[in-house]
Chain A
Amino acid sequence: MSYEIIEKLKKEIAGYQDDTKFEHVGLVTEVGDGIAKISGLSKALSQELLNIESDNGEVSAIVFNLEENFIGSVILGDAQKVKVGDRVKQTGKVVAIKVGDGMLGRVVDPLGNPLDNKGILYMDITKIKDYPLERSAPSVVARESVNTPLHTGIKAVDAMIPIGRGQRELIIGDRQTGKTAIALDTIINQKQDTTSEVGPHYIGRKQVVCIYVAVGQKNSKIAKIVKTLEEKDALKYTVVVSAPASSPASVQFLAPFAGCAIGEYFMDKGQDALVIYDDLSKHADSYRQLSLLLRRPPGREAYPGDIFYLHARLLERAAKLNKELGGGSLTALPIIETQLGDVSAYIPTNVISITDGQIYLESDLFYKGLRPAINAGLSVSRVGSSAQTKAMKKVSGKLRLDLAQFRELQAFVQFASDLDENTKAQIARGQRLTEILKQVDNDPIPFEKQVVAIYMATNGYLDDIKVEEVRSISERIISNLEKLHGDILKKIRETNQMDEETEAKLKSSLSELRGV
């Protein structure tokens, strides 16, 4: 063994080339809480990666503050290794992550290091690309309108708050209201929502690559999510970027940008990508911590003045590229956790105004058993309707109207016996619609089945069924429809439409199956 080491050293020494040259260096003058103040390095760039030469090896840091006489930097590695007097060298590079197809199915940290003990990420290093964590968003000319749906597999979302590929849709709600569940369902649904047929008569949907960014989450929760994705066979097209609560604030701060950079790699390849930021409240907290430690002036709720820009520049990178640029897309689903349903707090209002709509989840609805606990009145999608399939548009228009009428009449449910027949019917319809929109976790429903389920509810096929039996009976009808009249579902799936012929077939099949 020692012989081998000596031989290796001999080779290294023989091949050593002395290239002593003038270099820019700095000195650590203050260090603490993951922050280092460095003198010198007057030519350092903002966001540049630095190497701190500590006694125990090199430690990376990022330039955050460029001041007159010193620079404020955030230490990325083990801050315990850095001490006052350590020399600091510039790298001339901004923070970047190595991305490639090898990332799929893996759990990585925001710097691209694998965390899942599955070995190296890339077998072929020639296919790796360096993507900067901070990059400007695609310009106006590089984009086109959102035109393809991103189905979540959740009836309430796909029907009433449709999301398009390239859109930014906020998922907002209190703790334990099912925010992550919606995001997970969306990831799981991408497997069954892919349609291979692309042609003049078919409108295909490409496989969506998913990136789940966990910021400040418990390690146990991240492990559970990875396990669920593995069980549902969804991990193979997913990348998990993990910055748990135990990681330093600097790592948590970088995580969404790393996730976005990975998404951009797939978008630039012409693929469709979905990135979930779970959650941006904790991301804002980590940025607040760094900013306060760097002595930046605090603003409202002690957040720094540029907290809006932080999230705006991150979410603005979600885009649908035009055909000339490959037609790829990056959809963003940021998550925000509210405190006691207060959507008027600083960070929620910021992100609401940045995104193209929000899915608002309510604790009250959750505890009433309405799951997913989506408040259809406060939830909105500003651009998704243009991407919604014709079939879904056809059935969901009536659903929205019926549900809106039901919400108005809901207060009178207790006095149902004193109401006129028309109002009673509206309430009964509303109750059945609410029931049909209920769904369990981790079981997203294919879009064509959603269309049929909503069609049944809005066209009175379930009106004479007891409310508590609506879900089971509708599931049974759809299951039988799939077995006996699979061509109807297939046609809706392939053409994204429900033409008169299909509707007539569906009507006769439903009448037939209702009696089974």
Chain B
Amino acid sequence: MKYSVNNYVGAFIGASKKTSYEEAADGLIKLLKKTGDIKHSKKIVEAIHKKLVNEKGGKWMNIEVARELVLKKEAFKHKFSEKDHVGFRINPELVAGVRITINGEGELNNTLQNKLNKLFK
């Protein structure tokens, strides 16, 4: 990458304060094409999204469960504030239970994988 993800995020947030989000987004896409970093656009957009959620006082939540059956998205979403972003992921490695990650660095791990790991440590 020519510039780091954080540089793009900072630039976008700065630009969006001066113009509309749409104009800033257009400018960002043009810039990514110019620098050749368009292939990393997914990562950059997610980082921007995360920054915007945090700036509005929300949290970036990630909920992982082992199987689709237990994933009750609506029930989960009601537990959090509207400002929060809640993402869901199926991760069979967890075996059972749920793992919630907050802002990428706080974790509540209530999975069977974790319990088994502790048991056999």
Interface of A with B (CB < 8 Å)? Answer: 12-13, 16, 18, 20-27, 39-42, 53, 68-69, 87
Contact = CB atoms under 8 A, between A and B. Distances in A.
Interface residues of B, number: 15
A491 B67 CA distance: 85
A18 B105 contact: no
Nearest to A39: B104
A25 B110 contact: no
5 contacts: A20-B109, A21-B108, A23-B107, A23-B109, A27-B104
Given A16-B115, A22-B108, A23-B107, 6 more contacts: A18-B115, A20-B108, A20-B110, A23-B108, A25-B106, A68-B6
A515 B56 CA distance: 100
Nearest to B107: A25
Contacts of A22: 106-108
B119 interface: yes
Contacts of A24: 105-107
Contacts of A23: 106-109
In this complex, which of A12, A20, A27, A39 has the most chain B Cβ atoms within 10 angstroms of its Cβ? A20
Contacts of B119: 12-13, 16
Given A12-B119, A13-B119, A20-B109, A25 B101 contact: yes
A24 B107 CA distance: 6
A26 B102 CA distance: 11
Contacts of A21: 108
A476 to B, nearest CB: 66
Contacts of B109: 20, 23
Interface string B91-118: 0000000000101111111100011011
B115 A41 contact: no
Interface string B11-34: 000000000000000000000000
B86 to A, nearest CB: 17
B109 to A, nearest CB: 7
A424 B109 CA distance: 87
Interface string B54-93: 0000000000000000000000000000000000000000
Contact of B105 (A12, A20, A41, A68): A41
Give the top 8 A-B pairs by smallest Cβ distance, nearest first.
A40-B105, A25-B107, A20-B110, A40-B104, A23-B107, A69-B6, A22-B108, A12-B119
